[in-house]
Amino acid sequence: MPIKIPKGTVIPGIENNEQFKVWVDANSHSNLTMDHSQLGGIGLFYESKEPIQDEEDPVILRVPSDSIVDLHKLFDMLEELKVRDRSQIDGQISESKVIVESIQSMVIRTETDILMAYIVALKILKSYRENSGQVKEYFNSPISKYNTYLNILSNTNVSNPHKDDILSMEHKVKENYIVKATIGFNYEEYITKMTDCFPQLNMKELMPFETYYQLHRAVMSRSLEIPRGLEEEEDSDDYVVDVSLVPILDFVNHNRSSNSYFDIDKDTNDVILKLKSNEVKKKVGKFEITITYDDLDYTTDFFIAYGFNMPYESEE
């Protein structure tokens, strides 16, 4: 069944919670809800009227493979766009070209950077269609299915350090500002290249730095490494990980002592969220679902990625 969202819950970037539930197409346990979290923002909660007795780790959320945003699905979408663009009317912007040039204009060091290049291109195209009044053409395009998720990314609460923060004595705060400055430098290079490719478009208006920075940090904070089995070895346990954006699952908050974890269903490639039965056994009432983003949650890298740190605890 679709995930439950209590009346009055405001999800940043979402105007209609009912439409949001239909869009994500996730199947969840009847006891699972989305609500405001004391850990920050929106979280996922489980409510049990009776003590949990499961011996095995129960699946409480299933996100269909088609709802996951990763490079494989984005590449397939791009190929579909290329075919569609062959029949475009003269004067129309080639959506596939915007995406290709975005990838080529972005400073690429990691898989996340490629994902970012796609997301920025999709946002540029969304803004262009809205500003030019070509709404019908946009919603007839394969890229329109990412519209809701772009709204979520555009409204995700991200760390946005000010230049005065560099005066802080904290090393991690200074590093955070340096990251922002680096993103700013890469932005100028990106906009220059994109403007050269599309001189008829006002790229700085379609993609101002504030939006570029927002998307960059949102993708960084919401992306997960999802395991993918090697297709050529069906009976093997070997796998690789794909940097992915997983709707609903990416609302789960972090806890070093988490009570759940995510995995992949090898039969369907759906992403599933499981409760740790040993952590929640005999629990009654409503409690927040948490996962562990990274065991090293006290480091500067963690602070830069997620905007917060947990206290360092010695193993001794």
Encoded amino acid at 117, one letter: A
Torsion sign, CA atoms 125, 126, 129, 131? negative
Q: Within 13 Å of residue 180, how many CA atoms lie on the same side as its CB?
A: 21
Contact yes or no for 241/226 (Cβ under 8 A): yes
How far is the CA of 80 from the CAs of 70, 103, 141, in angstroms?
16, 17, 10
CA atoms of 311 and 287, how far apart (whole Å): 22
Reported pTM: 0.88
Show pLDDT as tens, one digit a residue, over the chain (316 residues). 778 888 889 998 998 888 887 777 667 777 889 999 998 889 999 988 777 777 788 899 999 888 899 999 999 999 999 998 888 766 678 899 999 999 999 999 999 999 999 999 999 999 998 887 765 665 678 888 898 999 999 998 887 666 665 566 577 777 778 888 899 999 999 999 999 999 999 999 999 999 999 999 999 989 998 887 666 555 666 778 899 999 999 999 998 889 999 999 988 889 999 999 888 877 788 999 999 988 887 788 888 788 777 776 655 4
Is domain 17-67+246-306 in CATH 2.170.270.10, yes or no? yes
With contact defined as beta carbons under 8 Å apart, do 316 and 71 qualify?
no
Q: In this structure, are residues 105 and 193 in contact, taking their beta carbons and an 8 Å threshold?
A: yes
Instruction: Label the pairing between strands 239-244 and 224-229.
Output: antiparallel
Would you call 52 helix, strand, or coil by DSSP?
coil
**CATH 2.170.270.10 residue window(s) in the chain:** 17-67+246-306
